[in-house]
Amino acid sequence: MKLVYCSNCDAVSALANFEREVCQTCERPAARVDVPRPWQHWAGIGVIVAGSAILLLMYIPEIQFRVLVLLPFLGFGLFLSTWGLRVSKDKALELGRARVKERKA
Ligand SMILES: [Zn+2]
């Protein structure tokens, strides 16, 4: 995933790595902004990995119980990575705006 900033809409778009660097709103070329992944992103991955590891270690033959055990981990992991994405987008917006200001000055 990568983040791009559009100075036309003053908005950040999250794109897949193979996508062209254009704004998702107006489809004009947008500048790529590299933001380090926040801890929430890694914590989210960690929670999902931990949930899967627990499932592997525990012997639960019933598939319904496996899903029940994994669901809270998946939910919490998703919550954390969504939070991380929001933090990254805010940071990218800040950096994108600063860059535009620099260009104008
Ligand atoms: Zn735009």
Question: Which residue stretches of the chain are H helix?
Answer: 39-57, 63-104
In this predicted structure, what is the pLDDT of residue 91?
Answer: 96
How remote is the CA of residue 101 from the centroid of ligand 1, in Å? 17
The 10s digit of each residue's pLDDT in 18-75 is 999 999 999 999 999 999 999 999 999 999 999 999 998 988 888 888 899 999 999 9
Q: How confident is the model at residue 101 (pLDDT cuts 50, 70, 90)?
A: confident
How remote is the CA of residue 36 from the centroid of ligand 1, in Å? 23
How remote is the CA of residue 13 from the centroid of ligand 1, in Å? 9
In this predicted structure, what is the pLDDT of residue 59?
Answer: 82
Is-above-0.85 flag for pTM?
no
Predicted confidence (pLDDT) at residue 100 exceeds the cutoff of 90: no
How remote is the CA of residue 74 from the centroid of ligand 1, in Å? 33
